[in-house]
Amino acid sequence: MKNILITCKMLTKHYTKGKTTVTPLEALDLEVPTGEFLALMGPSGSGKTTLLNLLAGIDTPSSGDLEIAGTRIGDLSRGRLVHWRARNVGYIFQLYHLIPVLTAYENVELPLLLHDLPAKERRERVEAALALVHLEDRMHHTPNELSGGQEQRVAIARALVADPPLLVADEPTGDLDREAATSILELLSNLTQEHGKTIVMVTHDPRAADQADRTLHLEKGKLLESGALS
């Protein structure tokens, strides 16, 4: 029996817009074991990004339970949630979100500035993360000196540098050509198989989803198939 990293029970998120209540996610049950590469698919507005933001601690549930690595996310104050997120989640964006004036090294180092680490340990962690994505020879290059695939590798190194157990990825190959996308997907798969990372990836691309261990489909805030493990 695998250890379960993520447990969602009756997880619901709603927003109020004027007199209208919008519910992008409704009564969702899901379990994700440690070390799984899970793909989430579904049309726009199906709740994929809402679920990803809840798992990342960027947003909090309206009701239901969300537990990640033994922590109930809904019980955390905003300040505690920030600290929890910095240690437990790495976010990989479609458009990289690198700071143009910083080098690859400096972009990867940014999350570590939230931690009380000596400069030597920060340097060791940044260099190790860049080596893991095979960019140790590009660490002093700025984003405009890198290809799209290399920029996404920097973004993955940034997500990894604090050694979080969970990585969430929002269309990580959506802005890449097929060759670069394949390389990124192979890297993500290796992070689960060789380094035990748990990855939840939102994608519209069936070929990207095929690289995952499991694919679940969302429709109007609900899973079309059970996400619970037997």
Determine contact, residues 107/158, Cβ cutoff 8 Å.
yes
Q: What are phi and psi of 172, to 5 degrees?
A: -65, -15
In the numeric block, which tokens belong to residue 123? 């340097």
- Residue at 50: amino acid letter: T
Widest Cα–Cα separation across the chain: 55
Are the CB atoms for 36 and 227 separated by under 8 Å?
A: no
pLDDT mean over 104-131: 94
Q: How do residues 12-66 score in pLDDT, each as one tens digit?
A: 999 888 888 889 999 999 999 999 999 999 998 889 999 999 999 998 999 999 9
Domains in the chain (CATH in brackets) are 35-61+77-217 (3.40.50.300)
Neighbour tally for 200: CB within 10 Å = 26
What is this structure's pTM?
0.91
Q: Supply 183's token pair.
A: 């390389």
Which own/partner pairs from 191-197 qualify as long-range (CB within 8 Å, at least 24 positions apart)? 191/160, 191/167, 192/35, 192/36, 192/37, 193/35, 195/132, 196/34, 196/35, 196/165, 197/35, 197/160, 197/165, 197/166, 197/167
Distances (CA, A) of 57 to 10, 51, 91, 191: 17, 10, 10, 21
Tell whether the model's pLDDT for residue 230 goes beyond 60: no
Per-residue pLDDT reduced to its tens digit, 126-169: 999 999 999 999 999 999 999 999 999 999 999 999 999 999 99
Q: How confident is the model at residue 200 (pLDDT cuts 50, 70, 90)?
A: very high
Question: What's the CA angle centered on 105, arms 37 and 130, to 5 degrees?
Answer: 40
Predicted local distance difference test score (pLDDT) of residue 2: 74
Number of H helices, E strands in the chain: 7, 10
Average pLDDT, the chain: 92
CB 211 within 8 A of CB 188: yes
Q: What is the reported pLDDT for 225?
A: 62
Could you identify the residue written with the tokens 């995952």? Answer: 212
Q: Are 217 and 230 in contact (CB under 8 A)?
A: no
